[in-house]
Structure 1
Amino acid sequence: MEEEINTKTMCEDQDTISVGTASFKSILSLCSENTMEIPEYQRPYVWSQEKVDELLGDIKDFYYDDQMVKRGANSNYYMGALLLHQKEDKRLQIIDGQQRITTLLLLDHALNADESVLSQANGNLKLNFDSPLSKKNILSNYAFVQSDKSFLKTEDYKNLLDHLVFTIIISTSEDDAFTFFETQNNRGVKLSPVDYLKSYHLRELKSDEDKQKVFAKQWDKDNQNQFLNLLFTKFVWRARKWRGKNLFYENQDFILNEFQKQTHSANGSVQLFPNRINSLANSLSYSVESGMAVHTSPISIQTSAENYPFSIRQPIEKGLAFFLFTQKYAAVYKYIFEQEHLHDKELNEALCFYREVYYRHSVYLKELFKLCLVMYYDKFGSQQINDFALWLDYLLGSYRIHQKSIVAQTPIKMLRDDMSENLLDVIDRAYLPQEVFTFLKNVTDHWKYRELNFKSEYGVQAQYKNQLLAYYKPDDQDKDLSNKLKWINDFITNRK
């Protein structure tokens, strides 16, 4: 490095933090003495062609001014900070900067081919990209760079890596490295809450790299198309935090507080709590001759993720437990809404109702419908889940049919202000499905179905009415929405 400052932290093992500035080419020369690698647990390579194009434009602006006059040969272009963790076995792990490093290596290879850093690294530069998203973006961005003939044909760019300068931070403490990572913002794609959650909880597995690799790969598999962002923000966080009358929408700080700061330290094994799946017995019988007999619940030695013995509102431990918890609710969501249920009539009918009546309606009511369905399934499984879907719609539909516009605050107002209790709490505390059904019937204002105030045959309210009629198929003399309560009761009775 051109300049290096060594400091020692005030701790027993004397961890060190080295800080300095260096050209990108000088940084990569560290590979002659160390193996530089991207840890398995890092997020995929996500830079788009737009980000690469922006970088190319900045580099061109750096080399030439507005009149295309070449700048001084000693000019350097600052690329931000590069954060590395120095491991004891001479491995340098890239904690922050992999997006920029990967992109610059693509540029260098496109410019210099056999003389590029990648071609001459001799195995000391280990950048493994198992994620399909990483592979897709690498191939796409490399092709994009190769298509920029003006960039490739300019000789000045051949020595590009000599003039790109980083602040380089090398820490022998992984905890210190992640502290830097979480508090600085560098050029690149903004980290999402789930990126922070992944890094945070993988640190808890630092003593077991095999587990780190397994759960990092599973995380990336579950997070295709940013699915885990949807899962945590729209469903898991709301299921846990929308309690009582204190309701508000999530943001990044709230997500990180709930799933980082409020998680508990683990003691080597995952703590379990009583719930539908994790119970010793599910019934008992009594006879005069033999007395009471407790019938134990079936025990599954190997189980699919949607049946892991967790509850959505339970305390969460750091590391292993967090990843298993995430796997469960990713699997639960996909099991309910993305799979066909040929052997589960109840769940199949609930999914059909959702698709036929709710799929194209207000995003806010749809999110609330799905949130309630996830919580109900978590509590009772598929037991009478289609009945629940119909009674839930009895409540939500009274808002849809009575209001031309459903806004973001509608679900919060509904749960907080318009009910004697929060529906999510009722589901969580109920012993039997019938308790939830009775609550839904009691809190629904049936008069909203009688006092219809829409006239258009093409608006969202009329569309909702038509979808209900198509689903329930009532008799001609029975097609007024004021009869909806009767439709539901008849439908449930006829199914039995």
Structure 2
Amino acid sequence: MPDNQNPNYEIKTIVEIFKQENLTIPEYQRPYKWTVKNTNQLIDDILLHQEKSKYRLGTMVVHNNNGELEIVDGQQRFITILLIAKVLSDSNFLDKDISYFLTHLKFSNTISHKNIARNYQAVISRASDIVNEKFAKFFSERCEMVQIILKSESEAFQFFDSQNARGKDLEPHDLLKAFHLREMNDSDSSEKIAVVSQWENIKSEDLAELFALYLYPIRQWSKRQSARYFSKSDIDIFKGINLKKSPAYPYAQILRMLESFTQHYKNSPDRLFDNQEVNFPFQLSQTMIDGRHFFDMVSYYQNSKNKLFNRLKENEQTNRIISTLDNQEYKYRTGDKYVRRLFDSAVFCYWDKFGLIEIEKAVKVIFLWAYQIRLTQQSVFIESIDNHARKDLMLFNKIYEATHPKEITQLLVNFKIESKAKNSESVINLAKEFQGIKNEK
């Protein structure tokens, strides 16, 4: 950034940090998730360095928002430090009054409440180690943090993105969360809290799976682009247009109209009587809408994915395929996992375009197309399914360009079925049946 926008770096002791009564944690920040192990490790680190003249506890990035210092990064460590300070204060070993922070810091997320209570008990259990004058003096006067003060929220999030993009602790979807929250600068706190709560209700591993196995590859393969791994360098594919800030591009007009209709329908007094709901008509191929729509989209597709595959198990025809693929013999081999990933994402892609219309026929076609590489190749790698998705029949691209289900359900997927993969009899028999080949007795 330009020199006149360089962040202000300050090294502050813990007691100096607690003197800043304008230090706050925005309500839309992520929940407090440090564990007892993290808490004990911090205490152990402080104890280990007690003989040093100074000890650096880490970095805290804050945004100066009209005089309030909002913590953008470092809140996990700060809250844990506050828990240690409370135990010392309750035992009269800390001179600085921290009651302001205990009174004014609000945590609306139940995850935060649970972890704060648990870690507070963990700190209390270490009383014999830390509740003494030596530890309290070192902790408050010689333990330090680097405090980085940035002038705008945009700069703060840019700094947050660049710092964490280098680390291994955050997933790509974490960086997307930060970006799309930044796009909600003009929204009120209650809306930010709502979308973050919606996001945090989905487990991190489920979010990682949703992006890596469904959203990312479908968007890429539909345009015949490679989609082997979803990494931090790929997150721009989930950044698009901010409807409130962008010029009136003609291509964005339909998005604005859809947004206007959806909001008008939701806010109509008629909803008080008919209890009808309408969601924004998301499509994985459409231009991404930045901000709140991103969070709504993620929740929509996470819920839809679970419902879709449960629905397929309720249908006799599609369940035959799903139950065969769920068989133990196809669950653990790496190649089988790759092919199943290809199958699942293609089914989801079809559903996103045409819903459940002719889904039984589509699943058969997708099964033959996806498992063609399993039955004709000795080994299957991530490169195998990536190439198959983009080159052989180009199924994702065909779904993307199709205007009627028959363009997919009437595709012919014929290939010579060979027993290249061991222990694939069930899949072979199913493929032969769908191709009209009778098994030899």
TM-score category, normalised to shorter length: 0.7 to 0.9
Does residue 214 in structure 1 map to residue 194 in structure 2?
A: yes
Q: Which residue of 2 aligns with 1:317?
A: 289
How many Å separate the matches in 1 of 2:383 and 2:359? 26
**Counterpart in 1 of 2:9?**
19
SS of the residue 1:219 aligns to: helix
1:465 aligned residue:
425
- What are the superposed Cα offsets for residues 137-189 of structure 1, whole Å, 9 maximum, x if unpaired? 33443344444465345553233232221111223321222222222359997
Match of 1:66 in 2: none
C-alpha deviation, 1:217, in angstroms: 1.6
Assess, with a 3 A threshold, how the Cα gap between structure 1 residues 166 and 379 changes in structure 2: closer, same or farther. Answer: same
Q: Does 1:250 align with 2:229?
A: yes
Counterpart-to-counterpart distance in 2, 1:333 and 1:41: 27
Superposed, 1:24-423 pairs within 5 Å as 24-31=14-21, 34=22, 36-63=23-50, 71-72=51-52, 75-88=53-66, 90-113=67-90, 115=92, 120-122=98-100, 126-148=104-126, 151-152=129-130, 155-159=133-137, 160-185=139-164, 190-209=169-188, 210-221=190-201, 223-243=202-222, 245-260=224-239, 263-267=240-244, 272=254, 302-303=276-277, 305=279, 308-337=280-309, 339=310, 350=318, 353-358=321-326, 360=328, 361=331, 362-403=336-377, 405-417=379-391, 419=392, 421-423=393-395
What are the Cα deviations for residues 255-300 of structure 1, in whole angstroms up to 9, with x where unaligned? 322223xx123237985459x9x99xxxxxxxxxxxxxxxxxxxx9
Structure number with the higher helix fraction is 2
Question: Could you say if the C-alpha distance between residues 170 and 376 of structure 1 is closer, same or farther in structure 2, counting changes exceeding 3 Å?
Answer: same
Q: Which residue in 1 is equivalent to 2:266?
A: none
Q: CA deviation at 1:376?
A: 0.6
* Partner Cα distance (1:238, 1:365) in 2: 13
CA distance in 2, matches of 1:189, 1:118: 36
The counterpart of 2:407, out of the listed 435, 456, 461, is: 435
**Structure 1 residue 94: Cα displacement:** 0.5
How far, CA to CA, are the matches of 1:118 and 1:340 in structure 2? 59
Amino acid at match of 1:217: S
Structure 2: runs of 5 or more not aligned:
247-251, 262-273
CA distance, structure 2, for counterparts of residue 380 and residue 329 of structure 1: 15
Q: Name the CA shift for 1:126/1:242 in 2 (closer, same or farther; >3 Å).
A: farther
TM-score by length of 2: 0.79
Could you say if the C-alpha distance between residues 181 and 245 of structure 1 is closer, same or farther in structure 2, counting changes exceeding 3 Å?
A: closer
CA distance in 1, matches of 2:166, 2:373: 45
Following TM superposition, by how much is the alpha carbon of 1:101 offset from its aligned partner in structure 2, in angstroms?
A: 0.6
Code of the aligned partner of 1:385: I
Using a 3 Å threshold, how does the CA distance of structure 1 residues 138 and 267 change in structure 2: closer, same or farther? same
Compare relative contact order (CA 8 Å, sep 6+) and give the higher one, 1 or 2: 2
**TM-aligned CA deviation for residue 484 of structure 1:** 4.3
Contact between 2:324 and 2:426, CA under 8 Å: does it hold in 1? no
Aligned to 2:435: 485
Q: CA deviation at 1:48?
A: 3.2
Instruction: Mark the runs of 5 or more structure 1 residues left unpaired by the alignment.
Output: 1-7, 64-70, 280-299, 455-460, 473-480, 489-496
For the residue of structure 2 that corresponds to 1:94, the secondary structure is strand
Residues 24 and 272 of structure 1, relative CA distance in 2, 3 Å threshold: farther
Question: After superposition, what is the alpha-carbon deviation per residue over 1:241-263, rounded to whole angstroms, capped at 9, x for unaligned?
Answer: 22455424234333322223xx1
Q: Percent identity?
A: 24
Distance 2:89 2:127 in 1: 14
8 Å contact kept, 2:61–2:71: yes
1:359 is displaced (CA, Å) by 6.5
Number of residue pairs the alignment of both structures matches? 409
**Cα distance change on mapping 1:311 and 1:98 into 2, 3 Å:** same
Give, in angstroms, the shift of residue 351 of structure 1. Answer: 5.8
Secondary structure of 2:100's aligned partner: coil
Q: Distance in 2 between matches of 1:206 and 1:371?
A: 34
| SS of 1:406 mapped into structure 2 | coil
User: Structure 2: how far apart are the matches of 1:219 and 1:333?
Assistant: 16
- Normalization by structure 1: what TM-score? 0.71
Instruction: Identify if the C-alpha distance between structure 1 residues 131 and 487 changes in structure 2 by more than 3 Å, giving closer, same or farther.
Output: farther
Checking the alignment, whether the CA contact within 8 Å between 2:228 and 2:383 is kept in structure 1 is: no
Question: Larger Rg: 1 or 2?
Answer: 1
2:59 and 2:232 map into 1 onto residues whose CA distance is 24
**Taking structure 1 as reference, are residues 149 and 91 closer, same or farther at Cα in structure 2, changes over 3 Å only?**
closer
Equivalent position to 2:419, from 436, 442, 452: 452
Q: Which amino acid aligns with 1:314?
A: Q
For the structure 1 residues 147 and 483, does the alpha-carbon distance in structure 2 shift closer, same or farther, using more than 3 Å as the test? Answer: same
